[in-house]
Copies of this chain bind each other. A is one copy, B any other.
């Protein structure tokens, strides 16, 4: 079989300018997460398959990539048998389709020693065997922020005026999670007119599904609601009707929830109050038709919806997952944001900086570009000078071109974004030019003194 010269469908080859844009997004994610007091964690890119089959739900399970090692003879045979029986989740491991199950596993393993609450962020790749399309790839990066911990609502006395019990710590932690998400949107220059946080409660959706006769089909109804904005209206209606649910009655039941006298409606109202207190009132609203597809959500759910794009981010409360993975009963709330949809949104809105600006922000500019004046002695001095500059901590580059035209070489240095150019003369001295101002240093510098002189300018 001839080798294939392209990467797998739905993955990306990132050349330097492409990768710099992704690194810029990663830097924004990291900066915002740290600002909001989250600590970074990481886990394996593949996990035991059961970690995902136990709680994430059929939407995720149908999209996992199986992973196996040919070294396990017995395992390979039994996997081969299972595959031939049609068991597609037969591999011992799966590429991580999302991070939350790993996070719950990590928390459960050290729950007793971890701070209360624990605030973690994570940013790495995820993998889903979806059909690739605009905004969806099979390999993408995701940013997660989670707050783990909090006290359940205990007495109605803690609640608001309508007498429904609300947990002040869970409201505060939901608000912290949403504030970090909005913090990223703000840091990228987005406005509430371009992206809104739409908040709901999974319990309200479940109650509406049950009230419309969907008991027993709840997970399928959640999937249909979650996919609604991506489906033609008739297709959505047909899916819901196939579950024995009248789509109009379901909308009515969903829309009635926001004003209901229920603990979750009271929680949502208290959450909106907390978000307003943080100056985020313009960004957030209750949207009773938000469902989210993952099976493990237990309470508040939210999505960031931008005009013309699918959800830029989504998350919610998953108060049972840590217990499922062997930890103590622990409430938790978090969200994920992918790099693909965010990039498209920033490009659409003209908010992705130009390449030169990204290079500046990421510290990619060369400090100095070394050019020989063309003397054999100068040519010979270049490698040693570069080594000395780099040992002094400077980002130093050279031209590899054959030309001895200093003007062309200076243009090459300038195109590379270098702050300065050092033209080696007669093998022992350099003329230095500041490429930002165009000014030439008044005197030549001995090559041995150049690293220290340039370091003082950097």
Contacts and interface: CB of A to CB of B under 8 A. Distances in A.
Contact of A44 (B34, B106, B139): B139
Contacts of A88: 70-71, 76
Interface string A353-372: 00000000001101000000
A332 B198 CA distance: 52
Given A20-B40, A70-B89, 20 more contacts: A5-B108, A5-B109, A5-B326, A7-B44, A11-B45, A16-B120, A19-B41, A19-B42, A34-B363, A34-B395, A37-B397, A62-B71, A65-B69, A66-B70, A70-B88, A71-B129, A76-B83, A117-B400, A183-B390, A280-B387
How many monomers of this protein are in the complex? Answer: 2
A207 interface: no
Interface string A212-226: 000000000000000
A66 B68 contact: yes
5 contacts: A35-B393, A65-B68, A65-B93, A69-B129, A277-B383
Nearest to A77: B84
B11 A279 contact: no
Nearest to A149: B400
Interface stretch (A48-56, A152-160, A259-267): A48-56
A391 interface: yes
A54 B363 CA distance: 38
Contacts of A79: 80, 83
Contacts of A68: 65-66, 91
A8 B325 contact: no
A328 to B, nearest CB: 13
Nearest to A186: B391
Interface in A106-165: 106, 108-110, 115-117, 120, 125, 127, 129, 139
Interface in A415-458: none
A359 to B, nearest CB: 10
A241 to B, nearest CB: 26
Contact of A395 (B13, B37, B45, B80): B37
A188 interface: no
B36 A14 contact: no
Interface of A: 1-8, 11-16, 19-20, 22-23, 34-37, 39-48, 50-51, 54, 62-71, 76-77, 79-84, 88-89, 91, 93, 95, 102, 105-106, 108-110, 115-117, 120, 125, 127, 129, 139, 172, 175, 179, 183, 186, 274, 277-280, 324-326, 363-364, 366, 383-384, 386-388, 390-391, 393-398, 400
A326 B6 CA distance: 10
Contacts of A67: 65-67, 95
List 4 tightest A-B contacts by C-beta distance, closest first. A70-B88, A80-B83, A11-B44, A69-B129
B81 A4 contact: no
Contact of A3 (B186, B325, B386): B325
B44 A398 contact: no
Contacts of A394: 35
Contacts of A139: 44-46
Contact of A34 (B102, B280, B364): B364
A43 B7 contact: yes
Given A5-B326, A35-B396, A44-B11, A80 B70 contact: no
Nearest to A95: B67
Contact of A8 (B76, B93, B179, B393): B93
A115 to B, nearest CB: 8
Contacts of A274: 383
B384 A277 contact: yes
Given A3-B54, A19-B40, A400 B116 contact: yes
A181 to B, nearest CB: 12
